[in-house]
Structure 1
Amino acid sequence: MIPVLCLLLYAAAVAVFGPVVLARLTAAGIAPRLGVAAWLSAITGVSVAATAAVAIALVDVLGRGGDAARWIVDCVGALSTSVGEHSGADMRLLSGIVLSGGAAVGVVRAWRICRGVQRRRARTHEHAHLARMVGRRIPDLDAVVIDSEERVAYCIAGRERSVVITRGALAVLDPRQLAAVLAHERAHLGGRHSLVLDVVHSVAAALPGVSLFRVGATEIGRLFEMCADDVSVRGQGRRALLGGLLALGGHPAPEGTLGGGGGLTARAARLVSPPPPLVRLGVTVLLGAVIVTVLAGSLMCTLMD
């Protein structure tokens, strides 16, 4: 009973305050990998806590011989000693409705999440197939080139994973900038960023009222762009990548793909002025503390009795 109440309160607290705290800590893109981990830990913590609360409640009810009404009375009794008066037929009906409704909502939401991931992956595979059909490969360039004046480079994950770049982008990029842009897109593929985004966007779509999921999906996508930037910089340098980003001008990539100029202003700012070591250390420590707090909080709530 007490673990259920604690888990629900914990999930509500993280869902409400998590976006505010994490948005501030990750806004500048300092330690973007750890920023992604912090957002994912919050999203996972809320999801696991809510699921665990339902599971513990069902196990407790079954342990009482299926007397859901008695369980509801005991839970409410933890907050008010006068609830025993309402343990009659009305409470039994209410408890049955609450538990049945909760279970049904959980099943529907889980199905919508799985279905959302499947649909996003299907769109990605379709786009990859079309890109290969209409595009062409240039010798010594490991990418599919599409005949378009729009200046865009992006990647497509999945079975037919590819880096796609338009003829318009090739026309404005010098060799170093082109290498930096392609390295950025390959970093997305190597890090399996698309798979993570498919899941978090599907969770956000299934639970649109939870701001943590909605804001988290957007922020994780922005941070993944910065993670890929860091990989590209290590191989090609800041100047080449910055020049490539500015040359492409921040044109968005097609839906279901990764790339384009998402968060171009913030990405360019961190390339021009990297944070001082002490600032990076401070943000790293704070993000690490958030991750530990979120994970430890759910564990402590579960173990309470």
Structure 2
Amino acid sequence: MNVAAWMLLYAATLTWLGPPVLGRITGSGGSPRLGVTVWLTTIIGALSGWIAALGLMIDHVIANLADESPLTFCLDAVGFTGGVDMTRQVGSIATTVLACAGVLVTAIAIRRVWSGIRRLRHHSHEHARAARVVGVSTDQPDVVIVDSSQPAAYCVAGRPQTIIVTTAALQRLERPQLDAVLTHERAHLTGHHHQILMILRSLARGIPRLPLFGASASAVARLLEMCADDAAVRRHGSHPLLCGMVTLVAGPSQPAGALGAADVAVLARASRLVSPAGPVDQCCERLILVTAIALTIATPFIAGLLCHH
């Protein structure tokens, strides 16, 4: 088995076996930033493995096309030499079909994902623009007040980025709670969480049959909310944020592309704020996550070294 075969196996393992393992080691949210890094590293690894394998196969076929059967090169590229005896004509047709299929599937997937990103980005920018048109500006340039009987506070990526707070939320939230909620929303904006989720959601919709992408969109959204929670807690403490979340949780669901303090995994996040993990548990989780990142990055290089010996 050579490098291309290892890359295919590596990508398939991450795609199908990665989600349950990652869900288990990142589920508690003890280290949400590292948890997000683990998911993103796995996604990049799976995509890189597939592209590398496809590129190696195409390069191998082109480099040796003049000397032997194209199908022989294709099979040799994935490590199965001498296993098939076919005529040159049939081999040429089969190789052409396989190569074209791989390139076509990849091109279609890229087009669908890119289209999804553009659509989500356009919707988010339009929502931010509309909120600034109908809302009332405040002394904080990124905050807009919108008249509504439902308490809500959320942020959307736009030009400029906007935090939207309803009048009902202003009436119900005390000042420390409002400050904590606003800090939570600003953490989303400064951390570029919208852009990360746009890519992941577009991958999930553009390549729906691969479990890694569907699982990553929901898991990373949950972890990013915890990252924003931690930013608010560091500045205002857990109690104001927790009370603000409880106040806003009865509000309407946020529009697509928005991130709100009381929109995702509220019970899990509230439990985490009430009973945070101890130092020993956090240290153990970080060690596990760092190890997972290191293994994901190192595996293809180790496979490449083994295949060349």
Q: TM-score range by the shorter chain?
A: over 0.9
Kindly provide the CA deviation profile for residues 140-199 of structure 1, in whole angstroms up to 9, marking residues without a partner as x: 685101111111111111322011011111111000000000000000001011111111
Q: Tell me the distance in 2 between the aligned counterparts of 1:204 and 1:190.
A: 24
Aligned residue-pair number? 303
Q: Residue 233 of structure 2 aligns with which residue?
A: 233
**Is residue 2:109 matched to residue 1:124?**
no
Q: Residue 177 of structure 1 aligns with which residue?
A: 177
Could you say if the C-alpha distance between residues 196 and 206 of structure 1 is closer, same or farther in structure 2, counting changes exceeding 3 Å? same
Q: Residue 200 of structure 2 aligns with which residue?
A: 200
Kindly provide the CA deviation profile for residues 21-70 of structure 1, in whole angstroms up to 9, marking residues without a partner as x: 11011112110000000000011100000001011111111111366323
Q: Tell me the distance in 1 between the aligned counterparts of 2:126 and 2:83.
A: 60
**Is residue 2:74 matched to residue 1:72?**
yes
Q: Trace 1:1-305 onto structure 2 (pairs within 5 A).
A: 2-65=2-65, 68-75=70-77, 78-79=79-80, 81-83=82-84, 85-139=85-139, 142-249=142-249, 251=251, 252-259=253-260, 260-303=262-305, 304-305=307-308
Task: Give the TM-score of the pair, scaled to structure 2.
Answer: 0.93
Q: CA deviation at 1:101?
A: 1.1
Q: CA RMSD in A?
A: 1.7
Q: SS of the residue aligned with 2:239? A: helix
Work out whether residues 60 and 77 of structure 2, in 8 Å CA contact, stay in contact via their aligned partners in 1: no
Which has the higher mean CA deviation after the structures are superposed, 59-68 or 8-17? 59-68
Q: SS of the residue aligned with 1:86? A: coil
Gaps of 5+ in 1: none
Give the % identical residues. 36
Work out whether residues 169 and 248 of structure 2, in 8 Å CA contact, stay in contact via their aligned partners in 1: yes
What one-letter code is carried by the residue in structure 1 that aligns with 2:285? V
Q: Tell me the distance in 2 between the aligned counterparts of 1:10 and 1:141.
A: 47
Q: SS of the residue aligned with 1:209? A: coil
Task: Give the TM-score of the pair, scaled to structure 1.
Answer: 0.94
Q: Tell me the distance in 1 between the aligned counterparts of 2:208 and 2:140.
A: 45
Work out whether residues 155 and 161 of structure 1, in 8 Å CA contact, stay in contact via their aligned partners in 2: yes
Q: Tell me the distance in 2 between the aligned counterparts of 1:239 and 1:27.
A: 23
Work out whether residues 129 and 158 of structure 2, in 8 Å CA contact, stay in contact via their aligned partners in 1: no
Off by >6 Å, runs of 4+ in structure 1: none
Q: CA deviation at 1:256?
A: 1.3
What one-letter code is carried by the residue in structure 1 that aligns with 2:259? L
Gaps of 5+ in 2: none
Q: CA deviation at 1:113?
A: 1.4
